[in-house]
A and B are shown apart, each in its own frame.
Chain A
Amino acid sequence: MRAVLSVRRFWAILVKEFVQMRRDRLTFAMMVGVPVLQLLLFGYAINADPKSLPTALVMGEASPFARAFLAGIGNSGYFRLVGGPVDEALADAMLVRGEVQFVVTVPSDFSRRIARGEHPALLVEADATDPAATSNALAALSRIAETAAVRDLGGVLAGQAARPPPFEVRIHRRYNPEGVTAYNVVPGLMGTILTMTMVIMTSLGMTRERERGTMENLLAMPVRPAEVMLGKIVPYILVGYIQVAVILLAARFLFGVPMLGSLWLLSLVLVAFIAANLSIGFTFSTVAANQLQAMQMAFFFFLPSILLSGFMFPYRGMPDWAQVLGEILPLTHFLRIVRGILLKGSGWAEIAPELWPLLAFLAVAMAVALLRYRRTLD
């Protein structure tokens, strides 16, 4: 009877695999590096319960009660007041640009109306484009209001401490009043899908030429690096636009995502975003020795993009170092732009602060790609 499994042959294959694994340093580094990266990102950077959310304040009056309420807000840990009180128009602009997550408005005749027992409303507007980022903070609001009421109205209304506060906290979930997760996720998905496909497609570009040996022929011909790079990148910009069209159609007709802003503006921004991703992919492909390595590099870029950009988890929930990393990534800025345009109706002025980091990234990535491209086989 013949043995089903020859230990020797099995051992031969096993040894060969280890030898090959040792030769491909990058793959090995990735096998160790990716889990470490995941551990660090998931463990330290991700926080589904964001605190210290920037909050603008519109103070109609500076009564002791209003102050107590604001102190309560600050103490809750969820809200961080940005600067001093501002007027309504500025507060609104800050909310659109995404500089603040909340605007708290204390009406001008607030304490007077409490005294009259009119049960006035404190207005808290939330940027609810990402419902997950604001839900806990909003839930904490009513508790804060009660505590503030007890402390400051204690003298007057000592006996009513256990009752509901003599005012209400009215919450406006701006841009996504029903808190539909899809409104946030679907536009975000556009950026994520583009990042994934664009980086992978171009990262394979030069490595495929090298692996198949066609690189030598290409280099022997009178062609400039920029010509190769643009020629390889532009087709995928078109592919990117097809993807965007598909996603936008789905967003509109399947998910009913609102589209308040200009789609023309969005498509202009898309050129920069797609080109930024393609350049990074091109850079990878000038570094990677083979297509497998290129894929791994693309993955290595994709992972932080998805985790640190605010696509999956609230950006403001992350510690500072993770936010700094996130600021570098093109996806972070694109997400803010696409959500701004679609959900908030942002225009040029509102997206400009997010556009220039994207363009800066594009310029650097292109420069690196061109520098890395070798015109000889040296």
Chain B
Amino acid sequence: MTDHAIDVRGLNKSFGGRPVVRDVSIRVAKGRICGFLGPNGSGKTTTIRLLCGLLTPDSGSGTCLGLDIVRDAPAIKRQVGYMTQKFSLYEDLSIRENLDFVARMYGMANRRAVVEEALERLGLATRQRQLAGALSGGWKQRLALAACILHRPRLLLLDEPTAGVDPKARREFWEEIHRLAADGLTVLVSTHYMDEAERCHAIAYIAYGRLLAEGTVESVIGTSGLVTRRAATAEPDALAARLEGLPGLEMVVRFGGALHVSGHDAAAMDASLAPFRGDPAIRWSEVEPGLEDVFIALMAQAQDPLQ
């Protein structure tokens, strides 16, 4: 047994000749929360489906919870909780009926108690007779989480679980995720939210089917080599228009009353910015590049092989 809940190497998957996942290797240590990030259509969902046995990789190998992802797919399904991107429980069943169904599918011995506990844990008890289809996004998400932890999995694969969920529900969701991780569960969670990425122990960034960065948030930012300068000004739009396209300035991003200017080549960037340094209307400062800047820079560097 390895110390990794997920340990896969060189995964490849294509649909109809179009490669969707290319040579992806991921390792997630046990009991950790790993954020899985990347633009839309980058292969996150496909990678997650490969991990839980819903798809068979064209090539590549590895283990999930020590089980071979190809050979032991049925065994993996028993120990993995997979929360789909789109709500995939039965809308014409009530909350309790849905959970009951899932408990039966996994052959839970003490079904009633398990369902009862899940209802309590996620605060669904008072709504247990409501039809799942009548629930709002936040409650659907809770139900989906309750359903995928019902069989006490050792690994959770969550595919954009918080898309379209309000901030309060999102926060509560993450608190639950951290409680689960504290109990020893490993979590791989895909998301587009940077604040969520920062809540993870580690992140993996994928674009065009390729894994581009991996590690803690700090190390990903640190190894990106990106340098960012902040310009606080009353007229950021006018300044942005003048800055854009200057040598060394790879990104100019507006943040309310300020601009974040980033690039990999600090010298070239500072040379380009020098004429603006003297402008009293602009207050310059050095800031740590944000995760978002790093990702956008990564994506810009990565070539879409289809274009």
* Stretch in contact with the other chain, from A142-150, A209-217, A337-345: A209-217
Which A residues lie within 8 Å of B53 (CB)? Answer: 220, 376
Docked Cα-Cα span, A378 to B58, in Å, equals: 10
Which A residues lie within 8 Å of B55 (CB)? Answer: 376-378
A162 at the A/B interface (Cβ < 8 Å)? no
B89 touches A223 (CB 8 A): no
Which A residues lie within 8 Å of B255 (CB)? Answer: none
* A216 contact from B54, B73, B78, B80, Cβ within 8 A: B54
Residue-by-residue, is B268-295 near A (CB-CB < 8 Å gives 1, otherwise 0)? 0000000000000000000000000000
* A377 contact from B49, B87, B102, Cβ within 8 A: B49
B106 touches A220 (CB 8 A): no
* Range, interface on chain B: 20 to 34
Which B residues lie within 8 Å of A215 (CB)? Answer: 88
How far, in Å, is B292 (CB) from chain A's closest CB? 30
A376 touches B77 (CB 8 A): no
B106 touches A222 (CB 8 A): yes
Considering the complex, give the chain B residue whose CB is closest to the CB of A217. Answer: B88
Which B residues lie within 8 Å of A268 (CB)? Answer: none
B56 touches A220 (CB 8 A): no
Considering the complex, give the chain B residue whose CB is closest to the CB of A215. Answer: B88
A219 at the A/B interface (Cβ < 8 Å)? yes
Which B residues lie within 8 Å of A32 (CB)? Answer: none
A212 touches B91 (CB 8 A): yes
A349 at the A/B interface (Cβ < 8 Å)? no
How far, in Å, is B81 (CB) from chain A's closest CB? 9
B136-150 contacts to A (CB < 8 Å): 147
Which A residues lie within 8 Å of B73 (CB)? Answer: 376
How far, in Å, is A221 (CB) from chain B's closest CB? 4
* A221 contact from B49, B56, B86, B105, Cβ within 8 A: B105
A214 touches B56 (CB 8 A): no
Which B residues lie within 8 Å of A216 (CB)? Answer: 54, 84, 86, 88
B52 at the A/B interface (Cβ < 8 Å)? yes
Which A residues lie within 8 Å of B80 (CB)? Answer: 220
Interchain residue pairs with CB less than 8 A apart (8): A212-B91, A214-B90, A220-B77, A220-B80, A221-B105, A376-B56, A377-B55, A378-B55
Using a CB–CB distance below 8 Å, which chain B residues touch chain A? Answer: 49, 52-56, 73-74, 77-78, 80, 82, 84, 86-91, 102, 105-106, 147
